[in-house]
Structure 1
């Protein structure tokens, strides 16, 4: 009896040792990263079958955010109009799935919308993407760009560079910002970035200022450079929004390799002046 028990124990120990050895020597499973091209002028949409649990971006060269009210839609775009070195993006969804992307810059990506997972999410995809009908938004943006300005403020200027918010229009679930950029100097202005933030009005001592970046769903116009003695109009399209109490909207314009940086600030008093944009026939 003792010999039988001893043999069983030796067999069990040997089995555990063997399993541990196999576990130590088993090769890792390689997960292939998905190539993803992004630009600063358009938003790339990633539609997942389950809600997004966590997101990690490899560098500040890309901007990411979950779509408002849509937990399974991630919006991605480049933070700069310049080509940047390849970076990565990691997404984990609530079903435990892991998604890895290799992100690179492309001035005009061939594809902007991607869906992952079961075909059962096709209905969700149709509803989300039809609301962002790119062709209609592009036509509306052209209409806004050609419209006469009706806002005298806000504006910001420095060293001969002037940025002004000339008009705000609304149609359906989208708001169209009409911005004008003027260069009164003979020195060309190379745009490093033009970004939108909602920030706290006052900074409490020993507390960091809270800010949320607004990422446009579409951009129209030249957002890369402005010639000397030149002027141009740009249109930025956002999901419908207002500004919370004790906060303001900041439009940050940065010059590449230069010091002619501007920040335009405004609040709800300006936003509520938005005019309706007549639907295209």
Structure 2
């Protein structure tokens, strides 16, 4: 009887291990291979995807990425820093497919124009956004945001006589409009290298890279590249509608070309929800 009980327990244990092994096999993740991509500081790499780009995540701030203006399936990539360390780029397209790239620096022979294999045979090479039906409306609403008297207070930073402020947040349909004023109080011209929007983690965990998601503008009103000495400019950035998850914030970064007068605004979600609805055209 004792031996029978031992055999029964052994059989049940064997069956449990077998079932667990089968379940583990079913749940095993399949590996998504990454493509290698060589990019440069002085040249732009264009990647044409088979479907509209929905999400972009870069592994390092040493990389610049943006959608081609008015197009939804072309991504433009270049180095923000010469000789950067190897990093990565992740792109998700409208068909739910994830693309992964390992980026390396090559100033002499970068890959300039790439087309990814299509998953469908028919269709056009370039895809325009379905969400933004008419660019003219975006431009007109940007003007309304520019002249609107409603202001956001308290979002201002100054550095080396450069005042950088977010003084208006507006919305119409699926687009948000950010009114940003840059004042150059010095006598030296301020050449703009970058004015960009990121969603970042509030806290960086030790030995872990903070995830950074860039929000690409749909349209920019008064998009100048230089603020003359003792002058100012007010921009309006039209961005896809978004809110900020818990423990994250919106970083608006202004960087000087060939200079060190860099300024950054950190905006929390409680400020973004105080948005003004623009009247319908």
TM-score by length of 2: 0.62
CA distance in 2, matches of 1:272, 1:213: 19
**Equivalent residue of 1:196, what SS?**
strand
Taking a change above 3 Å as real, the CA distance of residues 152 and 68 of structure 1, as seen in their structure-2 partners, is farther
SS in 2 for 1:213: strand
Is the CA contact 2:47–2:115 (under 8 Å) kept in the aligned structure 1? no
| Cα distance between partner residues in 1 of 2:46 and 2:263 | 37
State the alpha-carbon separation in 1 of the partners of residues 138 and 110 from structure 2.
30
Find the counterpart in structure 2 of residue 186 from structure 1: 187
Paired with 2:122 and 2:210, the residues of 1 have a C-alpha distance of: 41
Supply the distance in 1 between the matched residues of 2:145 and 2:239 (Cα, whole angstroms). 13
> What residue is the counterpart of 1:210 in the other structure?
211
Paired residue for 2:172?
171
Aligned pairs for 1:249-264 within 5 A:
249-264=250-265
CA distance in 2, matches of 1:130, 1:198: 21
Equivalent of residue 122 in structure 2, options 118, 124, 132: 118
**Across the two proteins, how many residue pairs are aligned to each other?**
203
8 Å contact from structure 1 (residues 59, 87) kept in 2: no
> Which residue of the partner structure matches residue 278 of structure 2?
277
Return the alpha-carbon distance in structure 2 between the equivalents of residues 69 and 41 of structure 1: 14
TM-score for both structures, normalised by structure 1: 0.62
Shift of residue 67, structure 1, vs aligned partner:
7.9
Q: Secondary structure at the match of 2:142?
A: helix
For 1:116-169, what per-residue CA distance to the aligned partner results, in whole angstroms no more than 9, with x for missing partners? x625x79xx68x446341011011111111222511121111011011111111
- Judged with a 3 Å threshold, the aligned counterparts in structure 2 of structure 1 residues 41 and 166 are, in CA distance, closer, same or farther, namely farther
- Aligned partners of 1:246 and 1:220: how far apart in 2? 31
Residue equivalent to 1:14 = none
* 1:160 aligned onto 2:179: no
Quick one: structure 1 residues 191 and 87, their matched pair in 2 at CA, closer, same or farther if it must change by over 3 Å? Answer: farther
Asked if the contact 2:175/2:241 (under 8 Å) is kept, the reply is: yes
- Structure 2 residues not aligned, in runs of 5+: 1-44, 49-65, 81-88, 100-108
Note the alpha carbon deviations across 1:38-59, whole angstroms, 9 max, x for none: xx897241459xxxxxx8x663
Cα deviation 1:172-223 (Å, max 9, x = unaligned): 1110001011111111110011111111110111111111011111111133
User: Structure 1 residues 236 and 65, CA, compared in 2 at 3 Å: closer, same or farther?
Assistant: farther
RMSD, aligned α-carbons: 3.6
Q: Greater CA deviation, 181-190 or 142-151?
A: 142-151
Shift of 1:86: 8.7
Residue number in structure 1 paired with 2:69? 43
- 1:11-90 matched pairs, under 5 angstroms: 43-47=69-73, 59-60=78-79, 88-90=112-114
